[in-house]
Structure 1
Amino acid sequence: MSRDSIEFDTVLDLCRDQHRRIVLAVLAEEHRSLTVNDLSKAILKYNHHAPVTEVSEEVLAEIRLSLYHEHIPKLASKGVIEYDPERQHVVPTERFDQSQPLLSSIIEADPGLQVPVAL
């Protein structure tokens, strides 16, 4: 298997979950580090179609838990983000930048997201 096919498979795997697609899309649009709170709000906006003020604390807690325990670790393990747990910052890496053409194509093909995905 060539390096390109591994990269393609990695990007497909990362984009398998809609929450991760939203996180990746927001990071791509914002071009900066974001907090877990920022990412939670984006997921509420694009997946639940509701602002923070209109959802229960339980829903927000579930989203944060999924970010902390599933999505952020998966993205970090593939090297597309770095995560600072003390500051709760997610920072896109050089590998994230290199994956942009593939990520953009997949995100644009998602009928559930209206591109651009912004905070």
Structure 2
Amino acid sequence: MFDHVKFGVSDYAASKAFFLKALEPLGVAVVAEGEPTYGIELCVPGETVSLCLYQAEHQPAPLHLAFKATSRQQVRDFHRAALKAGGTDHGAPGLRPHYHANYYAAFVIGPDGHNVEAVCHEPNET
């Protein structure tokens, strides 16, 4: 559905560092970057959907950003990396059966109060 999502952040350097470290386990890397007011584009190499951040003048309203993980291990790695990057735990890795039987996710709050999630919809690895 999306080609890219771009949103403002209050501290570009802090948000850039957080998202790079938190999303590294999901294979996300920098594909383009300009001045902070233009921002940075993050993407899984070889894919076309991207996340873009830029320095905003005002504190942005919190968002819920859910990133696709290909395995439950990636969800656990994301959660660990996001906490090390300065995120605040908002839901440890685990099943969320109220969404569906295989909804395995973890949540952290990022530098601007955004709820950042990694989710895997695949059955448990054997």
TM surpasses 0.5: no
TM-score normalised to the size of structure 2? 0.30
TM-score, structure 1 as length reference: 0.32
Greater strand proportion: 2
Q: Which has the higher helix share?
A: 1
